[in-house]
Each structure stands twice: as structure tokens, then as C-alpha cells.
């Protein structure tokens, strides 16, 4: 069975969602301690000039190293999602924040570590994009990611397990993510014959999984939010299959849209979640929305 690495805007969103691991930074500016803010020692912000649809997903997104960080091909919305640990559908603002992409290269000040990185990125967004927002609560119908009655069947991430073997060669569609003890592998492939996509990570939180599931469902045309209600802390090994959308052809033969290959919509995904002891429940409830009050496109520097 031939496997092909899949690329494109949706694949990048799923990869980015899985990459959003928490280093201890607060989820909201208003919840930060009243201490002095910490900022990057120096940072450059430039437009991303590549064609995102043909750019390798492994290159897109945040790349955090011991003394510096790079943010490649990320829109302001994806930067907000990453910096504040929220879901992409919780951020409300002008259209350009989701379409204009940037390359940011930043250096940590002396004494700063990866645990400070998200707070420094938050300060950069305020300083360079003049970002200001407020939080509103709104009742929305959303998927709740919960533990099934049979209990969770998740394997915790353990440093040194086979998925983090640095000697093993990378498989097609696989990449290394993170650095130091957080370093782990992620895999993105597509089985063209079965019209099934495969996403795998050896180190992911349940909140990051919920964000990835939002992108996965959006790939099939379901735009509802997925919220983590598992109550599970820490990092886990996760493997997900889901139906790839099929192009819908007109009478003239041109593809005009996408339809899920799975007639039931989420049957393949549901089976993957069931194997992890998880499930999605559709419910209405309050959700925090991050409403952009002001943002500007930064100058090229």
C-alpha cells in the first residue's frame, strides 16, 4: 500500500496545531503575573514569500531552540493561537490576520529559556503588530473531546521510547519537532487508495489534540470547534486516521469543491478516537472568544 506525504493549507494547520505544546506560559495576557514582561533580545519580522501550498509542512510553524526561535510561514492568527494556547476558531478579527504570513527570527535574552518563549512572543505581537484584543464568552455548539466510558487507552510520552530514537531514520512524511527533552517525532501521510489521511505524534497534549481535530474536521467541511474536556494532563502518543475529502466535479469535469470520502463523515476518525479511549460529543456551551480590537501589519524589518 503506497503512502504519500500530504501537503497544503489544511495539512499545515494540523501540523501547527500538534506543535502547540505548552511550556508553562499563561493562556491569556490578563492572567500573566504582575512581574516585568520579558521580551526577545532582538527579532526580525518579514513577509513570507513562498507558496504555502507547496512548502513542506515540516518547515512551517514554530521552531524553538535553546537560545532562539523561528516562526516560519505563520499568519498573525496562527501566531496568536500558538502564543496564547487557544483554538483557531476562538480568534475573531479582520481577514488579513489569517492570510498574510510572516517569517520571524528571534533571539532569547541572556537567562531566558524555552519556558519563557511564549511570553516573549506575546510581547512581540503587542510591540510589532500593535495587537490588542478582549475576551468575550459566547454560547456555541461545539464538539467536546471526552474520555469514553471504557476509559482512556492513551500511552504517555516517555523520553527514549522507540518514537524518539535518534538513530532510526525518518519515514516518508515524518519530522523531528522540538529540542532537548521535548524533542519528538510527528508523521503526516495519506493513503490515496483508501482516501484516508494519517496523523501521528509521539508527544501531544489533549488541548493540542483538540486543536488538531478542529483542523481535521474543517478539512472535511465541518467548521465546528473541538474543545478538550478530557481532564487529562501531560503528554501522550497519538495516532489518528481520518477520511480525506474528494474533489467534486462539475459536468465539465472541473473540481469545484471537496466532499468527505466517508459517507458518514467521521466514521474513520471515530474509530481512531475509540482506539484511544476518546470520543467527540456535540454540545452547546460557553466558549471564550478572542476578539481583535486592533492589529497592524508590521513593517519589513
Grid cell, residue 156, equals 504517555
> How far is Cα 91 from Cα 97, in angstroms, rounded to an integer?
10
Do residues 106 and 43 lie in contact, with contact meaning Cβ atoms separated by under 8 Å?
Answer: yes
Do residues 9 and 53 lie in contact, with contact meaning Cβ atoms separated by under 8 Å?
Answer: yes
Interval 105-132 mean pLDDT: 95
Check residue 71 and give its pLDDT. Answer: 95
pLDDT at 284 over 80: yes
Do residues 92 and 129 lie in contact, with contact meaning Cβ atoms separated by under 8 Å?
Answer: no
Q: Which of 269, 287, 288, 289 is nearest to 278 (CA)?
A: 269
3-state secondary structure of 92: strand
Q: Where are the alpha helices (DSSP H) in 107-254?
A: 117-128, 206-219
More confident residue, 76 or 242: 76
Q: Could you give the count of Cα atoms lying within 13 Å of 111 in the half-sphere of its Cβ?
A: 2
Question: pLDDT tens digits for 163-215?
Answer: 445 667 777 777 777 666 667 777 788 787 888 888 888 888 999 899 889 98
Interval 41-52 mean pLDDT: 90
More confident residue, 266 or 91: 91
Question: pLDDT tens digits for 7-45?
Answer: 345 555 666 566 554 433 333 443 444 456 899 999 999
Do residues 287 and 142 lie in contact, with contact meaning Cβ atoms separated by under 8 Å?
Answer: yes
More confident residue, 223 or 32: 223
> How far is Cα 143 from Cα 12, in angstroms, rounded to an integer?
22
Laid out side by side, the sheet with 226-228 consists of 91-92, 278-294, 132-147, 226-228
Check residue 133 and give its pLDDT. Answer: 97
* Residue 78: Cβ within 10 Å count: 25
Question: pLDDT tens digits for 226-267?
Answer: 999 999 999 999 999 988 765 444 444 444 444 444 444 578
Amino acid at each position: 500500500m503506497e503512502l504519500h506525504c500530504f501537503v497544503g493549507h489544511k495539512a499545515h494547520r494540523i501540523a501547527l496545531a500538534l506543535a502547540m505544546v505548552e511550556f508553562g506560559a499563561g493562556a491569556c495576557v490578563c492572567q500573566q503575573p504582575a512581574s516585568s514582561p520579558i521580551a526577545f533580545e532582538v527579532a526580525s519580522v518579514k513577509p513570507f514569500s513562498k507558496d504555502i501550498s507547496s512548502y513542506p509542512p515540516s518547515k512551517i510553524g514554530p521552531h524553538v531552540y535553546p537560545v532562539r526561535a523561528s516562526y516560519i510561514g505563520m499568519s498573525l492568527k496562527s501566531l496568536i493561537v500558538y502564543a496564547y494556547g487557544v483554538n483557531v476558531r476562538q480568534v475573531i478579527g479582520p481577514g488579513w490576520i489569517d492570510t498574510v504570513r510572516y517569517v520571524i527570527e528571534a533571539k532569547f535574552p541572556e537567562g531566558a529559556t524555552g519556558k519563557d518563549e511564549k511570553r516573549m512572543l506575546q510581547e512581540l505581537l503587542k510591540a510589532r503588530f500593535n495587537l490588542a484584543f478582549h475576551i468575550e464568552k459566547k454560547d456555541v455548539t461545539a464538539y467536546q473531546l471526552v474520555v469514553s466510558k471504557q476509559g482512556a487507552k492513551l500511552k504517555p510520552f516517555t523520553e527514549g521510547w522507540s518514537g524518539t530514537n535518534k538513530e532510526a531514520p525518518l519515514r516518508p512524511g515524518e519530522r523531528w519537532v522540538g529540542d532537548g527533552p521535548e524533542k519528538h517525532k510527528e508523521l503526516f501521510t495519506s493513503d490515496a487508495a483508501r482516501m484516508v489521511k494519517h496523523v501521528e505524534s509521539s508527544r501531544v497534549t489533549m488541548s493540542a489534540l483538540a486543536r488538531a481535530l478542529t483542523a481535521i474536521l474543517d478539512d472535511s467541511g465541518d467548521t465546528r470547534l473541538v474543545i478538550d474536556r478530557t481532564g487529562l494532563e501531560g503528554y501522550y502518543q497519538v495516532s489518528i486516521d481520518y477520511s480525506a475529502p474528494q474533489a467534486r466535479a462539475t459536468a465539465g469535469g472541473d473540481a469545484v469543491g471537496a466532499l468527505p470520502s466517508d459517507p458518514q463523515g467521521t466514521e474513520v476518525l471515530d474509530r481512531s478516537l475509540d482506539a484511544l479511549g476518546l470520543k467527540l460529543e456535540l454540545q452547546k456551551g460557553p466558549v471564550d472568544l478572542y476578539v481583535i480590537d486592533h492589529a497592524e501589519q508590521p513593517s519589513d524589518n
